[in-house]
Amino acid sequence: MEFAELIKTPRADNVVLHRPFHPAVEGTLCLTGHHLIFSSRRQDNAEELWLLHSNIDSIEKRFVGSLGTIVIKCKDLRIIQLDIPGMEECLNIASSIEALSTLDSVTLMYPFFYRPMFEVLEDGWSSFLLEQEFELLSSVTNEWRLSCVNKEFSVCPSYPPVVIVPKSVDDEALRKVAVFRHGGRFPVLSYYHKKNGMAMMRSSQPLTGTNGRRCKEDEKLINATLRSGRRGFVIDTRPLAVAQQARAKGGGFEQEVHYPQWRRIHKFIERFNILQESFIKLVEACNDQSHNMDRWLSKLEASNWLTHIKELLTAACLAAQCIDREGASVLVHGSEGTDSTLQVTSLAQIILDPRCRTIRGFEALVVREWLQAGHPFQQRCAQSAYSNSKQKWEAPVFLLFLECVWQIHRQFPCSFEFNEQFLIMLFEHAYASQFGTFLGNNEYERAKLKLPQKTMSLWSWVNRPEELSRFQNPLYEANSLVIWPSVAPQSLQLWEGVFLRWNRPSKFLEEAEEERINIIKYNKELQAKVNALRRQLAEMETDEEVQEE
């Protein structure tokens, strides 16, 4: 296999592994095509560390005499240090890791080689089909239809082959609208609010340009979601000035004259390179080990991370409010409609739709609003917060979404079926994974790579009962209401589970979680026992009555 030539030194002994909050351990380091494996065979604490090369974000090496030290910074934000005796071994290992962690071909990635050790009960690749979603929708309304206009990915390369659109708009019109929208991303249904029949649509910006081009079909399409005499809201995730500038480059926004029934709200959400910088700064602050940490809050503030969280949550709440409280339909878009748009539409659904707060429902949401909707995972998650290279398309857009979910979860700790670990797991797999789910930038690329045939789906693994049990929130009680989070600064906190995960002691918090689980488990066991006894008693009593008779 071609990896062999990249591995100059496959194995080194007497390597010392350092991690925060763990004593240093000595052991053997092995490199394979996709993993860095460290194993210590000491009798008292034999342990193994398996690290995917694709999880490695950056690597630094330094020498003291002939003792080399490699510092490995991972995409899940963990930092480990390996002391490797022998300069040559150390150099070889470092350069191998560097090469193996930056493979440029997707098909060399681990998901294409991974063979699961578990039995597949349900193929995750077909767990969440839009057709099923549409079936559910059809049971409450007949105003929508499934369109296959994009079957060959010819109308919009970043859309899935099937989409849900208003029934009154035919495929011919959709083709025309696609031409009028950036990247062909014509307005499609994102969410239908059963309670009042309002719809949330998403798209990219309209290509009005400087001369105010219009497209009758586009107007007709989005007007089709309005009840007669009612108005809708366009939530544009750019500030007005940026939206106006976009016209010079052929983009633009819906102008009142052509969309008289729509009111536009500009709710600015930061773009990707700014977000990536913010991410890097935040992680830097969290990893600051200097003893002068006086300025921790200033550094947290300077990263602007929580500001982005607040903006994003506010925009999502606004969209949800338009739908639920105003009884209005909503169209969300920014420029391309692949980043901030998806953040807003997916978070609004968390707020509005109890189903999205279940494990299965949340997975469906990620598939529908992120994977199928064409969020370019491969570009955005190519590097994490430690990358030294100049960023191009990287941005923690999905991580921000997950964190916002966490913030809402923290405010409504009993309303989610999943726990924090579930969100952290998704973060990890979006950046490095043995599963093919997050490879590629859209369904088109995934189809070309034949991912469903050649790789395993994350959902096939996660949805097995033994895995699911780790991700269940013991406090969950289905809550059918809309949940309105607070977005005040006092209500938002740093997501310690991700950002301080490796540099805070977690033992006591884990113990607390265990305690919570046990309290509830014991309660359920007792309930079961009591119910069984009651039944038994009831039976015996009736028997006795029969006998008495």
Partner 1 sequence: MEHIRMPKVENVRLLDRFSSRRAVVGTLYLTATHVIFVENGSETRKETWVLHSQISSIEKQATTATGCPLLIRCKNFQVIQLVIPQERDCHDVYISLIRLARPVKYEELYCFSFNPKLDKEEREQGWKLVDLNEEYNRMGVPNNYWQISDVNRDYGVCDSYPTEIYVPKSATAHIIVGSSKFRSRRRFPALSYYCKDNNASICRSSQPLSGFSARCLEDEQMLQAIRKANPGSDFIYVVDTRPKLNAMANRAAGKGYENEDNYSNIKFQFIGIENIHVMRNSLQKMLEVCELKSPSMSDFLWGLENSGWLKHIKAIMDAGIFIAKAVAEEGVSVLVHCSDGWDRTAQVCSVASLLLDPYYRTMKGFMVLIEKDWVSFGHKFNHRYGNLDGDPKEISPVIDQFIECVWQLMEQFPCAFEFNERFLIHIQHHIYSCQFGNFLCNSQKERRELKIKERTYSLWAHLWKNRADYLNPLYRSDHSQTQGTLHPQIAPCNFLYKFWSGMYNRFEKGLHPRQSVTDYLMAVKEETQQLEEELEVLQERLANLQKSQSGNNKVKSKQQDRSKQSGLYTSNNSLANTPQEYSNDLKSFPSRSPSQGDEDSALILTQDNLKSSDLDLSANSDQESGVEDLSCRSPSGGGCLPSEDSGKDSDEAVFLAG
Name which of residues 274 to 293 contact partner 1 (CB under 8 A): 286, 288-293
The structure tokens 């046990």 sit at 518
Q: Which of 86, 167, 412, 468 binds partner 1 (CB under 8 A)?
A: 412
- Tell me how far apart the alpha carbons of residues 75 and 61 are, in angstroms, rounded to a whole number: 18
* DSSP structure string for 387-427: --SPPSS---HHHHHHHHHHHHHHHSTTS-SB-HHHHHHHH
Q: Return the structure tokens found at 522.
A: 């014991």
Q: Which of 25, 317, 381, 439 binds partner 1 (CB under 8 A)?
A: 317
Sign of the torsion angle spanned by Cα atoms 465, 521, 405, 55: negative
- Quick check: 332 binds partner 1 (CB under 8 A)? no
Q: Which of 15, 487, 498, 502 binds partner 1 (CB under 8 A)?
A: 487
Q: Which of 387, 411, 421, 472 binds partner 1 (CB under 8 A)?
A: 411
- Tell me how far apart the alpha carbons of residues 69 and 388 are, in angstroms, rounded to a whole number: 19
Backbone angles phi, psi at 278, to 5 degrees: -60, -45
- Quick check: 196 binds partner 1 (CB under 8 A)? no
Size of the site for partner 1 (CB under 8 A): 87
Q: Which of 301, 389, 448, 467 binds partner 1 (CB under 8 A)?
A: 301
At its nearest, how many Å lie between partner 1 and the CB of residue 176? Answer: 29
Q: Which of 34, 35, 267, 446 binds partner 1 (CB under 8 A)?
A: 267
* 175 versus 266: smaller Cβ distance to partner 1: 266
Residues 436-475, mask of contacts with partner 1 (x by CB under 8 A): ---------------------------------------x
Report 247-266 residues binding partner 1 (CB under 8 A): 263-266
Query: 53-65 burial by CB neighbour count: b if 16+ within 10 A, else e?
Result: bbbbbbbebeeee
Report 414-443 residues binding partner 1 (CB under 8 A): 414-415
- Quick check: 320 binds partner 1 (CB under 8 A)? yes
CA 97 to chain CA centroid, Å, is 27
Q: Which of 19, 194, 213, 231 binds partner 1 (CB under 8 A)?
A: 231
Q: Which of 28, 95, 307, 379 binds partner 1 (CB under 8 A)?
A: 307
Backbone angles phi, psi at 58, to 5 degrees: -155, 160
Alpha-helix runs per DSSP H in 272-366: 272-286, 296-303, 305-324, 340-352, 359-366
* 87 versus 242: smaller Cβ distance to partner 1: 242
At its nearest, how many Å lie between partner 1 and the CB of residue 474? Answer: 9
* 135 versus 510: smaller Cβ distance to partner 1: 510
- Check: CB of residue 361 under 8 Å from CB of residue 386: no
